[in-house]
Structure formats: structure tokens, C-alpha cells
Structure 1
């Protein structure tokens, strides 16, 4: 099979290779998937770059956690009736603080646990399915881990980002009033199209003052937070008493220092969200909601750029450079 891989961590252009590797075979409880599209997440890029000292858990690594394709064979213990099923894949490389799998979705084939191959709704393309594993599931966990948001005011930080874009949709469709922070006019339009009632340009406005004005001083019930370190003070200023902050990243400072009493004085709940560590029941609930939204035509999957698998380094560099929408690579013809 053709695959992208690396044998040491470092800059994309220096370490990523493209070539032929041995075809995998499905083991017990596994399915063999012909990968039609492979999604790239910031975690994939960080892993390849050696972020915060991440090393090589295996001599050779095929990157990427998310993907979509067709089941073409099954291992012992798996229903042969699944052959031919369109699926989306999640957690193909394992999470942090674990060795994980050597072979991700940046290849023509992948053998993976059958539970991690979820039926892809017919309304979604393979490219769209390749964007569900981390972004959509992280968004679902962040929005719904503490119950429905119907009738609540939800602040989505980074509302135009991959996770934020899904979080805006899910919260709005559940009946929440969604306020989103953005960094440009284009980002504002992107978030508004997803269902944000109001967007606030964090570079041009006093975000805390605007939120308190919009909520008559009451603040927001929940915050979906993309960078806890950067926005901790804002969160403490605009969160309602006993409100919840669901933080899924803190890239600007992985070791943030917070003002304890600023949060304790309002009884704030701080929830850490890790897309690689979602409980099984919550994962199944997320899969079901994603399927229902897709089936009703209400799920927007933003794809910002696509590349062939041979251009894997350019694709990783696009993720590192930023930009609206998810980045997808195609092992074969675009799907």
C-alpha cells in the first residue's frame, strides 16, 4: 500500500516520507478499511513535530487519528456483513500518555478495532467523515458533558476553529443562545453561518464588557474553551455562578497558573476535555447525535484545504499555518 510515514520527529518537510509499505491484515475484532480520506488534526502535527518532547513510540509511524473509507475485510469475531460498509474512524493512533498504535490513517489501508469504525451517514462524503473523530467528538463532549444546553447561553471561544465550528452548531441546534469569539470578519461569517447568534472580535473589542452587556450583567452558563491559559481571566469575569468551563486545549501555556478565588468565589466548574479519552457511553451518544444531525442535513463540515497523500508535508504545513476549515488528504482519488 502507499502511505505517508516518518521515522523521526521534526519539521514536516524534513521527516515526512511517502512510499510503499506492507499491506496490513485485520486481526481478531478488527476490520480492514480502504482509506478514502484522512483528516489532519493539530494533535497529529504536534506528534510528528515532537511537541513538548514527544518522541517516537515506534520505529516508523503512519500519522493521523481520523479518517473515512470502506470496510473491505474483517478479522475473526467481526460480522462479515460489515464488508462494504462506509465508515468514519476515530482514535486510530491512541491518545496521550500511552504508546498508541504505529499506523494511522495516512495510508491506503488501515486495520483497526471494529468499534472504532463507525457507520458513515449517507449524507456525508468520505472527506467530511474524515473530520469527525477529533473535532466533532471533542465538540460534542465539551457541549454536552454536563447535560443539555437548551435555554442556556454558551460562549464558544475560537468559534471558527475546527472544534469551535462544530460546538457552535451543536449548541445552537440544542436550543442554546451562542456567543462566539473570533479574530476576523471571515471568521465571524464562518461562525455565524454555523449558528452563532453573536460574534465578538477578540482583537478589536473588549470581550468581557461586550458579553456582560449582551447578558445584562449575568454572564454565560457555559464556556467551550480553546485556550484556557490565554482566556482564564476572561472566563472568570463572564461565567455565571456555578457555571462550567469545558476546556479542550491550553496551547499558549501548557502549565497555566489560575487565580483560584476568582473561580472559587463563583463556584465555577472546570472540566478538562480530551478527545482521546471520551468515556464509551459518551462516545456512543456523540456518534448517534452526529449521525442524526447529518441525516437531517443540519451538520456542516468545513473543509478548508485538500491534498494528495504524496503532498503530506504541504498538508501538515497548512495545518500549522492555520486557516478556516479542516485539512484532508486523499490516499487515492478525491472522495
Structure 2
């Protein structure tokens, strides 16, 4: 079968298309025929060596990249119900601590990392879902006075500020927050991205290059925002502190390795604010379980979407062009990059 692997860390050209022997699923595993693989920033950062790693380091055994994907279950290992066979599924954290990612035709995945994909949901949606939407779910459920479950009415009466509303996690946060009946304000860097945030469901959009974000947000939410979903805290900390409501949360899900941030201590204390860092791979297991459960409900309700009309343009690459797909994400492509493992 065809697979993408890398045996050393570095630039996208370390990704190699090979003919890989098919391996039957082991105990607790399912074998998924991957139709779509979603590419995320974590994929290229890991390929470059990750936090504390070095470019050019040896990778042994060879790594198949790709945490996210969608496809059909072909076979199951010991201890797994045969009812899985033939089911459409989405896959999350496929390559977390394992060499078996989703950039291959047949991926071996722990049963706990596959979720049924409704017939109404495309493989594009299934592959675009996991990292962005699970991360967004965590960001929206950190308020100790708020819900741990996201669904209709869960965030009613609350205001959510999404920094970078045209990004993948920003888009997911907007869609989930609107599904939960929050008022959503998104910040963007220009008119085209404003259109994407509105398509995702944002009630209000602030162009941070042309408008005073604090003044505009305070007009829209005089009592402050309950949750900030933050993509760049090193740049936005002062803004976040200035618009936060009492007992509000700033959920920080992104940043570069050398980023530093200065927080306003006294005002944060007065507000009893929470500055919470979020990384999917190390978040509490219970939070992931709740996210997968709620996303399943959202899929069944048709509450989450992908594509231009959902504010997240799709960029498709063939499996042989996986290096170009990685480069597109590394270069900051707006929307979602997908690899068509099957046409």
C-alpha cells in the first residue's frame, strides 16, 4: 500500500512516498482505509523535530505523519467488535506516540481513537474535524462557571471573543459557540477574513488592523467577554485583559516556541481571571472524551461544516504531494489543508 514516511526530521522534502507492507490490526486496533487526511501545524512542527528537537535527527521506526483522518474500517484486531467493519469513521490522534499516522492508505488506529462518521458528513468534514474542533471545545469549556458540555443553549447569555476568526481553530470555536447560543465576536486582519468569520457564524467582526479592538468589543459587550479563544497571546494579552469580564477565561491554544508574554497581574486578580494554556495532546482525558461526545452530537445535528460557505476554504492535495501540503500549512494557508489519500 502507498504511504508517506520520514526517517529524519527536517524540511517537507523529508516526506517520502513508499510502498509499505500491509500489517493486520493488533489487539485493540482497527484498520482504517483512509480517504482524507487532515494536515495541522502540529504535523509540520513534529516533522521538524518538535519542541526541543533538532532538524536532521533520525526517526526510527519511520514515521507516517498525520493525526487526523477519515475513512472506512476494513478490519479489526482481537478484542474489537466486528461491528466496526464497514463503518465510516473519523480518526483523531492517530500518530500520537505511534508511527502509524493517517498519510497512508491503511492506517492502524487504537479503537479508542476512531469515532463513527454519520452518512450525512463528508470525509472532508471528518478529516477537518479532530484537532481544530477538539481544541476549540476545550477552549469553550474552561470557565468554572460555565458548561463542560457544548450544545444548544449551553453558552446562552455568554459572550465569546475569538481571536483570529478565520483560522482553523478560530472557525471551529465560532461554529461551536454559535451552536451553543453564545454571542460571538471575532477579530480578523482584513475584509476577506471577515467574510470567512461571518460565514462561520460570528455575530460581530472586528478588523484589528483598522479598528480599536478594545473600544469595539466594549461597545458590543459592555460587561466584558466571558471567554477569549486566543491564537496569539504574546501580541494580544493587553487587549484580552482589557475586555475580559469578571471570572473570565483566556484560553491560549497556539504560540511559537520562543514566544513570551507579560500579563497584567493586578487587573487579572481583580477580575479573578483565568489564563489557561491548551494543548490537545496533554489535556485531561475526560475533556477529550467530552469533546468527542459533543462533536458526535454536532455532526448528527448538522451543526458543524467545512468549505467556503462555512468560512473554512478547503485545499486538496494528492498523497504524492504530501510535502506540498505540509508546506502550505507551514506557510499559513487560510482554511483547511486535506490530503486525498483516495481520490
**TM-score when normalising by structure 1:** 0.92
Do the aligned partners of 2:7 and 2:59 also contact (CA within 8 Å) in 1? no
CA drift of 1:87 comes to: 0.7
Whether 2:160 is the aligned partner of 1:154: answer: yes
Question: What is the aligned counterpart of 2:233 among 228, 252, 271?
Answer: 228
The 5-angstrom pairing of residues 69-88 of structure 1 reads 69-88=71-90
**Whole-angstrom CA distance in 1 between matches of 2:157 and 2:179:** 11
Displacement over 4 Å in runs of 4+: none
CA drift of 1:303 comes to: 4.4
CA drift of 1:261 comes to: 2.5
Question: What is the aligned counterpart of 1:60 among 59, 62, 80?
Answer: 62
Whether 2:184 is the aligned partner of 1:199: answer: no
**Whole-angstrom CA distance in 2 between matches of 1:255 and 1:22:** 45
What residue in structure 2 maps to residue 7 of structure 1?
7
Question: What is the aligned counterpart of 2:325 among 300, 315, 334?
Answer: 315
**Whole-angstrom CA distance in 1 between matches of 2:265 and 2:34:** 47
The number of aligned residues is 326
Whether 2:270 is the aligned partner of 1:265: answer: yes
Do the aligned partners of 1:303 and 1:328 also contact (CA within 8 Å) in 2? no
Whether 2:315 is the aligned partner of 1:305: answer: yes
What residue in structure 1 maps to residue 182 of structure 2?
176
Do the aligned partners of 2:8 and 2:59 also contact (CA within 8 Å) in 1? no
CA drift of 1:129 comes to: 0.4
Which whole-Å deviations, capped at 9, do the CAs of 1:279-308 have from their partners, x for residues lacking one?
Answer: 333323222322222222221123420000
What residue in structure 2 maps to residue 285 of structure 1?
290
* Root-mean-square deviation (Å): 1.7
Do the aligned partners of 1:122 and 1:295 also contact (CA within 8 Å) in 2? no
SS in structure 1 opposite 2:266?
helix
Do the aligned partners of 1:182 and 1:188 also contact (CA within 8 Å) in 2? yes
Further displaced range: 27-36 or 201-210: 201-210
Do the aligned partners of 2:39 and 2:329 also contact (CA within 8 Å) in 1? yes
Unaligned runs of 5+ in 2: 148-153, 307-311
CA drift of 1:202 comes to: 1.3
What residue in structure 2 maps to residue 97 of structure 1?
none
Do the aligned partners of 1:248 and 1:273 also contact (CA within 8 Å) in 2? yes
**Whole-angstrom CA distance in 2 between matches of 1:76 and 1:138:** 31
SS in structure 2 opposite 1:130?
helix
